[in-house]
A and B are shown apart, each in its own frame.
Chain A
């Protein structure tokens, strides 16, 4: 296979700039998605089926439809409705956060429900309020169990951000497509993108396993 490093060299500054966008999209969506997901996760665990329903519907919608379509809906529907015109940066963060929240909600729920009910009962019998038992007894144990699942979710999110090239967000895959269009070669742009994504996700997984060991 002939592999032309010269054309990669020409695109390297663009790939680097794209990497910054990918990292930005990922960090913003991981933070916003986790906060939002925590809320959805608690809503999902409400006792009353009537109150629980909207959260369940949210999770089912975002897990059950393609992110590809969600990005288009956010970019051409949601964002113009609020901001007057399309903006790839806003729609990128919004679409990824909304999507990720559905998955993190389930991770939160699984983590919390995996803690033995006896723990909560014990906390309550010691005179803690329901809120206190959640904050000081259940969550610290639950979070530790959630870390590997979060690691998975965040790595998937970083790679999912490549779909934002669809709305011309100038991230890694966008420049890869541009390079492919100019030279009509597929291996140079795609493999370059793959290497960059690997570096990003591998660093992320190292970071997460460090966190896992520390808590």
Chain B
């Protein structure tokens, strides 16, 4: 009996080893004719930048990268991997060579990753209930504010209120942050202007107001995420600039946001 158990155990262990070894196989993909395909990881839960429409990934970033990769003449693929997987696999740089997920460029993140030139200027907006005494970003200091974790709004409000301030409530998604405002758990939500406008438009009976505060909200930019020392940056940066300059960017921006972009800051930042 004892020895049979031993055999079963060894068989199980052997199976486990085979499975784990299988997971480690190199997935660096190449096209049918040996041409390399650049694989982008993304967390497609941030409409309208990137989101899943049933089983296809869509959004501003997706159209934008299509224009950039055509300009660069390279094959590519965008995969919805989720946020954590994107972070780790882009850091390793083997299976995914880049991350595309409305990632804001910050100095803290540059310690671990390289970023492309900025490709999007993120403008944040404060959303409050009608009749609120909040008029600018500085009024938020003593208030309870809800944001989505890791967004530019989180970055800005952490600077204004302090990272460890528990009156700054961080949520998994803007949808939950907005529910917190509806239910009186927060005085304001800070989020991307497109998201706030869309929410106010869709919920007219909630009597919400959007406030912009350009002087106190410094500009934040999105960049493509690369592993440290990536060679892709040098290849794609000129293509990004080309797309921004030749009007293609404006076309895509209009498609997703319904208005022409103000490219002054973005071009200066590039």
Instruction: Annotate B20-59 by CB proximity to A: 1 below 8 A, 0 otherwise.
Output: 0000000000000000000000000000000000000000
Contact of B172 among A166, A185, A187 (CB under 8 A): A166
Roughly how many angstroms separate A61 CA and B239 CA in the complex, as a whole number? 55
Task: Verify B185–A86 contact, CB threshold 8 A.
Answer: yes
Check A33 for interface membership: any CB of B closer than 8 A: no
Task: Verify A184–B180 contact, CB threshold 8 A.
Answer: no
Roughly how many angstroms separate A185 CA and B225 CA in the complex, as a whole number? 13
Chain B interface secondary structure, helix, strand, loop or mixed? mixed
Check B112 for interface membership: any CB of A closer than 8 A: yes
Residues of A within 8 A of B171 (CB): 166-168
Task: Verify B91–A181 contact, CB threshold 8 A.
Answer: no
Instruction: Annotate B80-95 by CB proximity to A: 1 below 8 A, 0 otherwise.
Output: 0000100110010000
- Cβ < 8 Å to B, chain A residues 174-195: 174, 177-178, 180-187
Residues of A within 8 A of B87 (CB): 180, 184-186
Roughly how many angstroms separate A168 CA and B166 CA in the complex, as a whole number? 9
- Cβ < 8 Å to A, chain B residues 213-241: 225
Task: Verify B88–A183 contact, CB threshold 8 A.
Answer: no
**Shortest Cβ distance from A174 into B: residue:** B170
Q: Smallest CB–CB gap between B122 and chain A, Å?
A: 15
Task: Verify A85–B183 contact, CB threshold 8 A.
Answer: yes
Q: Smallest CB–CB gap between A172 and chain B, Å?
A: 14
Interface magnitude class on chain A: 20 to 34
Residues of B within 8 A of A184 (CB): 87, 103, 108-109, 112-113, 150, 225
Contact of A76 among B112, B146, B179 (CB under 8 A): B179
Task: Verify A87–B163 contact, CB threshold 8 A.
Answer: no
Contact of A168 among B106, B108, B146, B183 (CB under 8 A): B146
Known: A178-B163, A185-B91, A185-B112. A80 touches B176 (CB 8 A): no
Q: How many residues of B contact A (CB 8 A)?
A: 31
- Cβ < 8 Å to B, chain A residues 75-98: 76, 80, 84-88
Known: A80-B183, A87-B185, A184-B150. A177 touches B112 (CB 8 A): no
Task: Verify A183–B170 contact, CB threshold 8 A.
Answer: no
Task: Verify A168–B180 contact, CB threshold 8 A.
Answer: yes
Residues of A within 8 A of B169 (CB): 88, 168
Residues of B within 8 A of A87 (CB): 185
Roughly how many angstroms separate A140 CA and B112 CA in the complex, as a whole number? 58
**Shortest Cβ distance from B154 into A: residue:** A181
Task: Verify B109–A166 contact, CB threshold 8 A.
Answer: no
Check A117 for interface membership: any CB of B closer than 8 A: no
**Shortest Cβ distance from A185 into B: residue:** B112
A-B residue pairs in contact (CB < 8 Å), sample of 18: A14-B164, A76-B179, A76-B183, A84-B184, A86-B183, A86-B185, A87-B185, A88-B185, A166-B171, A167-B171, A167-B180, A174-B170, A182-B106, A182-B155, A182-B163, A183-B109, A184-B87, A184-B108
Interface positions of A (Cβ within 8 A of B): 4, 13-14, 17, 72, 76, 80, 84-88, 166-168, 170, 174, 177-178, 180-187
Interface positions of B (Cβ within 8 A of A): 84, 87-88, 91, 103, 106, 108-109, 111-113, 146, 149-150, 154-155, 158, 163-164, 166, 169-172, 176, 179-180, 183-185, 225
